Amino acid sequence: MIRNIARCLTLWMLVWQSSEAAAATTLASTPQMGFNNWNSTHCRAEFNETMIRGVADRLVSLGLRDRGYTYVNIDDCWAESERDAAGNLAVNHERFPNGLKKLADYIHARGLKFGIYTSAGTLTCEQPGGFPGALGHESQDAALLASLGVDYLKYDNCNHGTLDARQRYRAMAVALRQTGRPILYSLCEWGDNRPWLWAAEPDIDANSWRTTHDIEDNFESMLKIYRQNVVLETYARPGHWNDPDMLEVGNGGMTPTEYRSHFSLWAIMAAPLLIGTDLRKIDPAALAILSNAEVIAIDQDPLGVQGKRIRDSADAQVIVKPLADGSQAVALFNPSEHAATLTVNATELGHAAAERYTVRDLWSHTSREYTAPLSATVPAHATVLYRIRPAQRAP
């Protein structure tokens, strides 16, 4: 009898643990995709309801929603500078005259999700001044966001004094869970306290955490952030992602070659893909980069592995990512100022030298066969992104 009871308890615990694991990965089982206004507007007057509605419409009409870009996130400066009489955050009605609930409804009606921003401090990050932060108001603010129909929270890291980061982010995690609404939890802690070591723990269970400070729209910034994030592959997994910040593709500070590298590297690093350009006026070249279904598939692969860098030199960065169907993604990135021939041997890729493989170039959309080694001449600042699988043998 006692043995049977023990067996039942063991089975119950296994079921409970598996259900808990499933719940933890329901949100962001693959890296989140969508839009955030900050990189294109910051806090300027053009950030308003008309813009966000227009972006939601363009996500649908440009086919980006169907590529996986489902979150429409608003960043800092959406609130009034003071809380209302009840202590609630108040929406800036100059920017959002119809309020955020109607905006959320508009976004939801288009098959999209609504995201919002606040900070784990007394004020948000906008300078000068800032807007009311959530520190000390976590339960009240989480309940308000849930009532507005929020699906995503970007939680920043300004104006917190010396309070412990883990304590601050745990308080909001608890508050979000208490609402009963599934809200993707994105920590914007900048990597200052190495959140990859603690943000995925059950007391916080964040879906992503920033590993770097803010990206800027230039190659040097993108490269610096890539180098900081690429070494953290052991911490990424379904439901929990390293976040090297939002995409700059389309904002004009990099060349098309550099933007293709930016997008390729974020994809092979299994990073969140959040468009940061105003989609109402995006140019065709940038749209083609953001719409590349074969590159998106590398980012969204259900195995949920961040690519591992296997080569690190001045003109050769090689990153390899195993994929759920048994194939591999391989990025050959040349960060130098001159063209370089990048060669990877079969052993580095875990291949048998005599085996034949099919190599798919995800930017030229062409396929070829190779045995070994894998080689390409890569222009300065460019990335060649391949999907490699064993070639089909003739019957």
Dist CA 12 CA 354 (whole Å): 49
Peptide bond into 244 cis (omega under 30): no
Dist CA 192 CA 115 (whole Å): 24
Is the separation of the CB atoms in 170 and 204 below 8 Å?
A: yes
Long-range contacts of 78-84 (CB under 8 A, 24+ apart): 78/116, 78/117, 78/131, 79/118, 79/124, 79/131, 79/132, 80/131, 81/129, 81/131, 81/132, 82/132, 83/132, 83/137
**φ/ψ of residue 300, rounded to 5:** -95, 10
Q: Which of 105, 214, 315, 361 is catalytic?
A: 214
Give the Å distances, CA to CA, from 289 to 30, 75, 257, 267, 273.
Answer: 20, 24, 10, 12, 12
Distance linking the first and last C-alpha atoms of the chain: 58
Give me the DSSP letters along 102-119.
Answer: HHHHHHHHTT-EEEEEEE
**φ/ψ of residue 155, rounded to 5:** -115, 110
Closest-CA residue to 292 (of 326, 321, 327, 256): 256
| 361 classed as catalytic | no
Dist CA 248 CA 267 (whole Å): 14
Q: Which of 156, 217, 245, 299 is catalytic?
A: 156
Q: Can you name the residues that pair with 91 across neighbouring β-strands?
A: 79
| 156 classed as catalytic | yes
Residues annotated as catalytic are: 156, 214
